């Protein structure tokens, strides 16, 4: 909305899973739905920001007023993120595959006789860490997500330091999270916001509500830094 708290800001959001090709018909993926990332893009647009949403393959409509850059693999996602910079804020909500096939077979792999095909893996670039560690053109606020199944806050604090980001939004994706149906693919989330000042637990809420609250916090933080 014009006149919203993020008017004049460019917000970059990554969302969804990545698909890492094995051969022309097969890929490695994960269960990310993109719901939280898309909700963030939508909330940022409602707050008046110009929004670029770099999204892996998802079954979600493009949020109104948002520029979507569809990608498949982690390497495509990094390239699209770099092409979308500069941004005031970058929120990395995508569930990027940690590994990809070391080489992509040019033709469909055949089931011809006994031997199983080898599947060697190699590490993907860490998009969040790459952007957070940039010296030139780093967004003022770089925010990562952490999906953990145990010791959520401690692991998230360590991740914040390691990745070089400003904030981490940590959630418990274990079956014990207390979120009916689970966090991944579900409509609800219960998060901890980890900043340089420590951590705060937010109440369980819909992904849309978590997005609204995070966008409000972002607007407040940018406003504070401006008047320093």
Please state the residue numbers annotated as binding site: 98, 108, 125-128, 145, 159, 163
Residue of 38, 145, 157, 189 that binds ligand C5P (CB under 6 A): 145
Does position 128 bind ligand C5P by CB under 6 A?
yes
- Between 47 and 169, name the residue whose CB sits nearer to ligand C5P: 169
How far the first Cα of the chain sits from its last, in Å, is: 26
Please enumerate, by residue number, every residue annotated as part of a binding site for CTP.
98, 108, 125-128, 145, 159, 163
Among 43-51, 141-149, 188-196, 211-219, the segment contacting ligand C5P (CB under 6 A): 141-149
Q: Any catalytic annotation for residue 59?
A: no
Compute the distance between CA of residue 68 and CA of residue 45 in angstroms, rounded to an integer: 12
Residue of 96, 183, 194, 218 that binds ligand C5P (CB under 6 A): 96
Footprint (CB under 6 A) of ligand C5P, residues 175-204: none
Residue of 12, 39, 132, 146 that binds ligand C5P (CB under 6 A): 146
Q: Which residue in 126, 47, 138 sits closest to 94, CA to CA?
A: 126
- Between 5 and 21, name the residue whose CB sits nearer to ligand C5P: 21
Going by the DSSP 8-state scheme, the letter that residue 224 receives in this structure is H
Does position 94 bind ligand C5P by CB under 6 A?
yes
**Token code pair at residue 60:** 């979600």
Give me the phi and psi of 76, to 5 degrees please. -60, -40
x/- map, 68-87, ligand C5P, by CB under 6 A: ------x-------------
In the Cβ-directed half-sphere of 201, how many Cα atoms lie within 13 Å? 7
- Separation of CA 97 from chain center: 11
Name the minimum Å distance from CB 127 to ligand C5P.
3
Report in angstroms the alpha-carbon separations of 9 from 52, 57, 84, 174, 219.
Answer: 11, 26, 13, 35, 10
Q: Which residue in 223, 85, 79, 89 sits closest to 167, CA to CA?
A: 89
Among 38-46, 108-116, 143-151, 211-219, the segment contacting ligand C5P (CB under 6 A): 143-151
Residue of 55, 124, 171, 190 that binds ligand C5P (CB under 6 A): 124
Residue of 33, 45, 63, 92 that binds ligand C5P (CB under 6 A): 92
In terms of C-beta distances under 8 Å and separation of at least 24 residues, what long-range contacts does 205-209 make, across chains too?
207/35, 207/36, 207/39, 208/39, 208/42, 208/43
By rule CB under 6 A, what count of residues binds ligand C5P? 12
Q: Is 216 helix (H, G, I), strand (E, B) or coil?
A: helix
Q: Which residues bind ligand C5P (CB under 6 A)?
A: 14, 74, 92, 94, 96, 124, 126-128, 144-146
């Amino acid at each position: 909305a014009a006149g919203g708290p993020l008017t004049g800001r460019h917000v970059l959001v990554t969302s969804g899973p990545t698909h890492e090709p094995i051969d022309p018909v097969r890929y490695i993926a994960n269960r990310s739905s993109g719901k939280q990332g898309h909700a963030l893009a939508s909330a940022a647009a409602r707050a008046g920001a110009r929004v670029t949403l770099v999204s892996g393959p998802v079954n979600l409509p493009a949020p109104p007023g948002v520029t979507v850059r569809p990608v498949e693999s982690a390497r495509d996602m990094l390239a699209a993120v770099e092409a979308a910079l500069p941004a005031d804020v970058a929120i990395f909500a995508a569930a990027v595959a940690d590994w990809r096939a070391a080489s992509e077979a040019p033709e469909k792999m055949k089931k011809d006789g006994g031997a199983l095909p080898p599947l060697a893996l190699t590490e993907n670039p860490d998009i969040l860490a790459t952007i957070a560690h940039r010296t030139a053109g780093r967004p003022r606020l770089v925010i990562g997500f952490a999906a953990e199944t145990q010791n959520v806050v401690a692991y998230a604090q360590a991740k914040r330091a390691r990745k070089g980001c400003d904030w981490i939004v940590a959630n418990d994706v274990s079956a014990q999270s207390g979120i009916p149906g689970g966090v991944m693919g579900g409509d609800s989330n219960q998060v901890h916001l980890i900043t340089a000042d420590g951590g705060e637990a937010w109440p369980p809420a819909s992904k849309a509500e978590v997005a609204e609250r995070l966008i409000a916090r972002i607007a407040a933080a940018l406003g504070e830094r401006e008047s320093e």
